[in-house]
């Protein structure tokens, strides 16, 4: 019977460990597809209005125009409520109005205007009405945009981070796309969405990205400051643990072989 050398024994142990590691890290391909079983017909959305609601600490771009450009200039002058000290990143020559902790903005001439809880359209109508009622402008046009609309995508994605959204409208698929998509080790069937409502309370919602139901979910479209977290699969945790243990095991096995080899000699 042929005897086994210590080095052949080591080779067998390493091969066995590698095989076990590979089998343990296999990913079920059924969990990789988005919207499994989605119908080809139209899917009705449960979201009726995706226009963001103005919240405390939002930064708004407010531009006023009218038939008299000179009269409109005073309403477009730089103001001290802009925490960045001027223009915002990604927006050239745009001044930001900070929504204060009491939900107001300080607008030129008009003064304090309540903005929290309103949509951009509602605030625009309110400012337009005040400009007309106070006879400050004739036929004014008030344009409002969010300057700090952003979402965060964290966890098991290719490029986690915080992403500014210039067009103020984004769905969860687009957000995941900005982050480089969920990796093969991310849980598509249990994506966590964290949102803060108007009362300051945290809403936590679990979304199954494998199911077509997410397309009609009221959480399909994201709001400013939403956080999307992709949890890693247990396979990924095992893989990372195996990667950390492998050098330790090799060292112990090598030490054992050296001791046995010297003992045999």
Average pLDDT over residues 105-130: 94
Looking at per-residue confidence, does 226 or 259 come out higher? 226
Domain 29-39+149-232 classified CATH 3.10.560.10?
yes
Average pLDDT estimate for 32-40: 64
Higher per-residue pLDDT: 185 or 237? 185
Among 20-24, 56-60, 199-203, name the most confident range: 56-60
Per-residue pLDDT at 131:
95
CATH 3.40.50.2000 fits 59-146, yes or no: no
Contact indicator for 185, 235 with CB cutoff of 8 Å: yes
68-97 pLDDT per residue, tens = 989 999 888 765 444 433 444 445 555 689
pLDDT value, residue 111: 92
* Distances from the Cα of 222 to the Cα of 47, 124, 150, 234, 259, angstroms: 11, 22, 9, 27, 61
Which is higher by pLDDT, 250 or 189? 189
Q: Assess whether pLDDT exceeds 60 at residue 48.
A: no
Beta-strand runs (E) in 156-234: 161-164, 191-196, 202-207, 227-230
Percentage above 90 pLDDT, the chain = 47
What angle, rounded to 10 degrees, do the helices at 6-24 and 234-264 form?
A: 170
- Per-residue pLDDT tens digits for 192-230: 999 988 777 899 999 999 998 999 899 999 999 999 999
**For the chain, which residues make up each domain, given as ranges?**
6-27+235-264, 29-39+149-232, 59-146
- Average pLDDT on 130-151 reads 93
Determine the average pLDDT of the residues in 155-177.
94
Q: How many CB atoms lie within 10 A of CB 224?
A: 20
pLDDT confidence of residue 245? 58
């Amino acid at each position: 019977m042929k005897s086994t050398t210590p080095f052949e024994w080591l080779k067998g142990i390493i091969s066995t460990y590698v095989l076990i590691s590979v089998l343990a890290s296999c990913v079920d391909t059924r969990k990789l597809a988005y919207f499994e079983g989605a119908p080809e017909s139209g899917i009705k959305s449960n979201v009726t209005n995706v226009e963001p609601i103005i919240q405390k600490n939002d930064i708004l771009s407010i531009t006023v125009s009218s038939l008299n450009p000179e009269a409109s200039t005073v309403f477009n002058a730089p103001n001290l409520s802009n925490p960045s000290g001027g223009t915002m990143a990604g927006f050239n020559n745009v001044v930001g109005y900070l929504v204060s902790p009491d939900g107001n903005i300080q607008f030129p001439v008009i003064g304090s205007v309540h903005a929290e809880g309103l949509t951009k359209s509602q605030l625009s109508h309110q400012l337009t009405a005040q400009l007309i009622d106070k006879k400050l402008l004739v036929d004014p046009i008030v344009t409002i945009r969010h300057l700090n609309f952003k979402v965060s995508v964290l966890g098991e994605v290719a490029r986690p981070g915080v992403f500014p959204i210039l067009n103020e409208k984004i769905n969860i698929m687009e957000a995941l796309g900005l982050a480089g998509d969920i990796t093969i080790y991310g849980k598509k069937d249990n994506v966590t969405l964290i949102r803060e409502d108007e009362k300051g309370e945290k809403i936590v919602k679990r979304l199954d990205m494998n199911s077509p139901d997410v397309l009609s979910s009221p959480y399909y479209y994201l709001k400013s400051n939403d956080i999307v977290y992709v949890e890693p699969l247990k396979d990924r945790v095992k893989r990372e643990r195996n990667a950390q243990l492998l050098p330790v095991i090799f060292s112990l096995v090598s030490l054992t072989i050296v001791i046995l080899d010297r003992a045999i000699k």
